[in-house]
Amino acid sequence: MVKFILKRLLQAIPVLVTVTIITFLLIHAAPGGPFDEEKAVPPEVLKHLNERYKLDQPIHVQFYDYLKNALQGDLGPSFKYPGRSVNEIIAAGFPVTFELGCYALLFALLIGVGSGIIASLQPNTCQDYVPMAFATMGICLPSYVLGPLLVLLFGIWLEWLPVAGWELTPGDKLLPSITLGSVYAAYIARLSRGGMIETLSRDFIRTARAKGMPESIIIFRHALRVGLLPVVSFLGPALAGLLTGSFVVETIFQIPGLGRYFVQGAFNRDYTLILGVTLLLASLIVLFNLIADVMIAWLDPKVRHETING
Amino acid sequence: MDKRVLTIGLIAVLFTTTSCGIDYETNVADGTRRQVLHVGNGDEPRELDPHIVTGNIEFKLCMALLEGLLSRHPEDLRLMPGVAESWREGDGGKTYLFRLREDAKWSNGDPVVAQDFVFSWQRALLPALGNNYAYMLYYLENAEKFHKGEIKDFAKVGVKALDERTLEVRLENPAPFFLQLLAHQSYYPVHRETIEKFGAADERGTKWTRPGNHVGNGPFKLKEWALNRRIVVEKNDHYWDADAVKLNQVVFYPIQNATTEERMFRAGQLHITNNLPVDKTEYYRKERPEALKIFPYFSTYYYIFNTLSPPLDDIRVRQALTMSIDRKQITEKITKAGQLPAFNFTPPDTNGYTAKARVTYDAERARTLLAEAGYPGGENFPVIELMYNTSEEHRRIAIAIQQMWKINLNVNVTLLNQDWKVYLDKRDSKDYQVARAGWIGDYLDPITFLDLFVSTGGNNDTGWSDKRYDELIAKAATIVEQEKRYALLQEAEAILMTELPVMPIYTYVSKSLVSPDVRGWRPNILDQHPYKYISLTPSQ
């Protein structure tokens, strides 16, 4: 297992370097620079700015410098926010995005696995169709529709929850987490329903039933472990998606996360900021996929065997 | 049996996770009680350093934290004493003598002295600082040469502290609007000791603007700056006019999304918004007119023509295009918030100046002009491209204008949507034919609009150049007497509205929602609302 993890970590290095190179080249190739403004910047000011941020040097020198500093953990100064380093911006935004992503995932698991199991217990009946119809709706409903709808209902009509903000008023984390998590809840519901139905018809379940085991033990101890495997392998990409895809929800709910930098860094040609955020998120995606694979190996003896021996 | 219990249990879990309501006091109720104003401020400020930032978002914060020699009346924007208690003009408008008030203090208790202004203006002009607004100080004698590195000795620049309370200023040319500039952030003072404690005077982005470090001389001082969350300023007891300041705190929220901001206002989380979504204007006009504040803004929405390449190098073509759009339709059917159709480039009634030259809507005449230019009935007229930066409103206006040109002139236009930086790059390199643009005046004088189109103007992306126009603008800069000066500017604008490198479309409005609890907030053309004069009283 250790060998497997080490191997995967080593494989991550070329992936991350490639991501950095491509992002670096793309952002530098895009027309317009970080200091272009609506009011023309006088050439003498621009010259000093380019010198200050070393943009007057050849691109390979810039890239080498960036990589060297990044390896030492210094992602450079932001161009748009002169007083802030990229490290500082990420340190302020990432915990928020991560927390939001975790709540959303928690919500998705709770709702998704719950309704998936409910549906799988009585396939092709009302108990199956109703949650699955909701799940299909959840997949179809984008967050920029669902978010404002939830705000209208719980924030404005019922006045139960704050309409926006993060750690400003109690309860303000609830609606964004639900909005962000709902799409994933829907996927997880479908995945767990499928997994459970398949598992419940397998021989070892029949054996358990024949032995007269209570249904709850059959479901929770025996069926879930196998039936939820597809959900587990979905978790890695899901968390990565939650972290990189939180921009819309962060905008709707005025959340000080990383999402807005991910999008605006590119619009503002804030080279260092977009590189820093991309590098961070790429590393996380690699990491989460690894964790998901490890978990699968741990849950599924068949895969575990293959991982260790091959 | 077992299955049913399980099902019910799971459904119960689903419901409890989604339906726990919490009671809380709104920001507005709480804020009004404690004199804490909650304001939507558009975006995260880039910095709080008055010599680095250029935007309105930052200006609102600088205005709370710092004060210039002069300030503005919140209603009619007339100039009022700030740090200077009195001033005298001399040498035909080329010199000024300012008397600083004795009780002007920094937020750490240090007195504000004339030397602070000398240091601050020098800093604003240091080339390495990269101050985009350095040109605002070019009116000072030799300031431009100093900024461009042609002279190194700052003593030659026209600002001098005669003693702690007397500041002498010498200008390059008499500029009747010079006093206006003193209320602008580019002329605000900074605290020398603080700046130097955290780095060199010309170092960008040092930690001096952080809470705990920041020292200012405004009615408020910096208490908290949580990146992307909020900025809190609190009353500065050392401020010379602290007795007049009613608010204990102002909390600024960087809310970009106008829809979110409107929702927060409706839910009582904000006293004042920075913006208002177009589709909500109608609702507030009908249901809550007392909260809706719409006022003409010192800013023009227009299109520019690239006059260097055919067919737009032909003045008749530009005139025909300008004459064939119905501006009223655009402001009534598209922008809908009370924007004024613009028939000239400067906004109406700029400090007593209203342009006499006007473009008209005259489709008949436009067709004649186009025929004279060699395109009768739009025949053989090449397809032209209209570029705008990403925005729903820009797109809708562009489509409307595309239609009007098609119907009135039988001219075909393709639309090109570009992201902001690409748009700027294409404009700057003149890689466009027609482009959308907007301009906000820096200070209350028509010159801040008209000097855009001088041949050497860094913002003149049209390629248009007119000797007479340049002369008029240059001559106006040497004249003190307002009436004569305005006559020259009228003449210049008449040239601009005949040659038409620029096609005015409408004058912007500022749109805000303001809670009825807020007192002392008055709409004005600069959309500036000094927090010094604002107080909160429960409205019911």
Residue A227 to residues A115, A199, A295, Cα–Cα distance (Å): 14, 6, 14
Determine whether B515 is exposed, middle or buried from the number of CB atoms within 10 Å of its CB (0-12, 13-18, 19+): buried
Mutate to test the interface with A, among B54, B417, B421, B448 (most CBs of A within 10 A): B421
Q: Are B75 and B522 in contact (CB under 8 A)?
A: yes
Give how far A296 is from chain B: nearest CA, Å.
25
| Nearest chain B alpha carbon to A39 | B459
Please give the residue that has the higher pLDDT: either A291 or B97. Answer: B97
Give pLDDT, residue B12.
56
The angle subtended at Cα B260 by Cα B256 and Cα B263, nearest 5°, is: 145
The encoded tokens of residue A137 equal: 């709706």
pLDDT digits (tens, 9 = 90+) for B277-292: 988 999 999 999 999 9
Q: What is the DSSP string of B165-190?
A: TEEEEEBSS--TTHHHHTTSGGG---
Residues of chain A with Cβ-Cβ distance to B44 below 8 Å are 81
pLDDT digits (tens, 9 = 90+) for B417-428: 998 889 988 998
Q: What is the dihedral of CA B529, B517, B238, B240, to 10 degrees?
A: 60
Mean of all residue pLDDT scores within chain A:
87
How many CB atoms neighbour CB B423 within 10 A? 25
pLDDT digits (tens, 9 = 90+) for B16-43: 544 444 456 788 999 999 999 999 999 9
Determine whether the interchain pair B228/A41 forms a contact, defined as Cβ–Cβ distance below 8 Å.
no
Q: Are A19 and A5 in contact (CB under 8 A)?
A: no
Residues of chain A with Cβ-Cβ distance to B222 below 8 Å are none
Determine whether the interchain pair A83/B269 forms a contact, defined as Cβ–Cβ distance below 8 Å.
no
Mean of all residue pLDDT scores within chain B:
91
Residues A211 and A222: their CA atoms lie apart, in Å, by 13
Determine whether the interchain pair A254/B422 forms a contact, defined as Cβ–Cβ distance below 8 Å.
no
pLDDT digits (tens, 9 = 90+) for B332-381: 999 988 899 999 999 988 888 999 989 999 999 999 999 999 999 888 99
pLDDT at B99 over 60: yes
Q: Of B206, B226, B458, which is closest to A40 when you measure between CB atoms? A: B458
Average pLDDT over residues A6-23: 90
Q: Of B6, B205, B267, which is closest to A83 when you measure between CB atoms? A: B205
pLDDT at B477 over 90: no
Average pLDDT over residues B478-507: 93
Average pLDDT over residues B477-488: 89
Can you tell me the ipTM of this complex? 0.87
Determine whether the interchain pair A83/B47 forms a contact, defined as Cβ–Cβ distance below 8 Å.
yes
The encoded tokens of residue B395 equal: 């797109």
Mutate to test the interface with B, among A51, A188, A254 (most CBs of B within 10 A): A254
Give pLDDT, residue B301.
96
Total number of residues shown for chain A = 310
The encoded tokens of residue B19 equal: 């339906």
Say whether B50 sits in a helix, a strand or coil: coil
What's the per-residue H, E or C state across B268-280? CCCCECCCCCHHH
| Nearest chain A alpha carbon to B461 | A40
Give pLDDT, residue A303.
67
Instruction: Please state the domain extents for chain A.
Output: 89-256
Residues of chain A with Cβ-Cβ distance to B267 below 8 Å are 155-156, 159, 162-164
Determine whether the interchain pair A114/B257 forms a contact, defined as Cβ–Cβ distance below 8 Å.
no
Beta bridge partners of B220: B235
How many CB atoms neighbour CB B228 within 10 A? 21
Determine whether the interchain pair A254/B257 forms a contact, defined as Cβ–Cβ distance below 8 Å.
yes
Average pLDDT over residues B386-401: 94
- The label of the residue with tokens 């053309």 reads B525
Q: Are B122 and B170 in contact (CB under 8 A)?
A: no
Residues of chain B with Cβ-Cβ distance to A115 below 8 Å are 10, 14
Instruction: List Cβ<8 Å contacts ≥24 apart for A128-131.
Output: A128/A193, A131/A189, A131/A193
| Nearest chain B alpha carbon to A155 | B267
Task: Quickly name the fold that domain A89-256 has.
Answer: MetI-like fold (1.10.3720)
Give pLDDT, residue A157.
86
Mutate to test the interface with B, among A149, A168, A213, A253 (most CBs of B within 10 A): A168
Give how far B425 is from chain A: nearest CA, Å.
5
Give pLDDT, residue A156.
84
Q: What is the DSSP string of chain A?
A: -HHHHHHHHHHHHHHHHHHHHHHHHHHHHSSS-TT--SSPPPHHHHHHHHHHTTTTS-HHHHHHHHHHHHHTT---B-SSSTT-BHHHHHHHHHHHHHHHHHHHHHHHHHHHHHHHHHHHHSTTSHHHHHHHHHHHHHHHS-HHHHHHHHIIIIIIIS--S-SS-SSSSTTTTHHHHHHHHHHHHHHHHHHHHHHHHHHHTSHHHHHHHHTT--HHHIIIIIIHHHHTHHHHHHHHHHHHHHHHT-HHHHHHHT--SSHHHHHHHHHTT-HHHHHHHHHHHHHHHHHHHHHHHHHHHHH-HHHHHHHHH-
Determine whether the interchain pair A30/B422 forms a contact, defined as Cβ–Cβ distance below 8 Å.
yes
Give pLDDT, residue B23.
54
The angle subtended at Cα B246 by Cα B245 and Cα B250, nearest 5°, is: 90
Among the listed residues A20, A15, A13, the one whose alpha carbon sits nearest the alpha carbon of residue A276: A20
Give pLDDT, residue B19.
46
pLDDT at B153 over 90: yes
Give pLDDT, residue A8.
85
User: Strands of B159-163's sheet, edge to edge?
Assistant: B84-90, B95-100, B166-170, B159-163
What percent of chain A has a predicted confidence (pLDDT) above 90?
27
Average pLDDT over residues A183-190: 90
Give pLDDT, residue B508.
95
pLDDT digits (tens, 9 = 90+) for B198-255: 999 999 889 999 999 999 999 999 999 999 999 999 999 999 999 999 999 999 999 9
Q: Residue B537: which residues within 8 A CB-CB, separation 6 or more?
A: B32, B517, B519
Judged by average pLDDT, the poorest of B15-24, B152-161, B328-337, B522-531 is B15-24
A130 confidence band (pLDDT: 50, 70, 90)? confident
Give pLDDT, residue B4.
58
Judged by average pLDDT, the poorest of B168-172, B277-281, B455-459 is B455-459
- Asked, as a colleague might, if the bond just before B311 is cis with ω within 30 of 0, I would say yes
Determine whether the interchain pair A155/B263 forms a contact, defined as Cβ–Cβ distance below 8 Å.
yes
Residues of chain A with Cβ-Cβ distance to B6 below 8 Å are 117-118, 121, 215-216, 219
Residues of chain A with Cβ-Cβ distance to B269 below 8 Å are 162-165, 168-169
| Nearest chain A alpha carbon to B149 | A44
| Nearest chain B alpha carbon to A121 | B3
Q: Of B22, B209, B228, which is closest to A93 when you measure between CB atoms? A: B228
Give pLDDT, residue A235.
86
Q: Are A308 and A1 in contact (CB under 8 A)?
A: yes
Q: What is the DSSP string of B218-240?
A: SSEEEEEEETTTEEEEEE-TTST
Q: Are B227 and B251 in contact (CB under 8 A)?
A: no
Beta bridge partners of B511: B294
Q: Of B47, B128, B263, which is closest to A151 when you measure between CB atoms? A: B263
Orientation angle between helical segments B467-476 and B482-499, nearest 10 degrees: 160
Backbone angles phi, psi at A70, to 5 degrees: -65, -40
Determine whether the interchain pair B227/A93 forms a contact, defined as Cβ–Cβ distance below 8 Å.
yes
CB pairs under 8 A between A and B: 185
Residues B443 and B136: their CA atoms lie apart, in Å, by 10
Determine whether B534 is exposed, middle or buried from the number of CB atoms within 10 Å of its CB (0-12, 13-18, 19+): buried
pTM for the whole thing?
0.89
Residue B425 to residues A30, A38, B24, Cα–Cα distance (Å): 10, 10, 48
Q: Of B209, B260, B420, which is closest to A267 when you measure between CB atoms? A: B420
Backbone angles phi, psi at B532, to 5 degrees: -55, -35
Q: What's the one-letter identity of residue A138?
A: G
Residues B135 and B452: their CA atoms lie apart, in Å, by 13
Residues B171 and B482: their CA atoms lie apart, in Å, by 17
pLDDT digits (tens, 9 = 90+) for A45-94: 888 888 888 888 898 999 999 989 988 989 999 988 988 999 999 999 99
Give how far A279 is from chain B: nearest CA, Å.
21
Please give the residue that has the higher pLDDT: either B101 or A259. Answer: B101
Phi-psi region of A62 (alpha: psi -120 to 50; beta: other; left: phi over 0): alpha
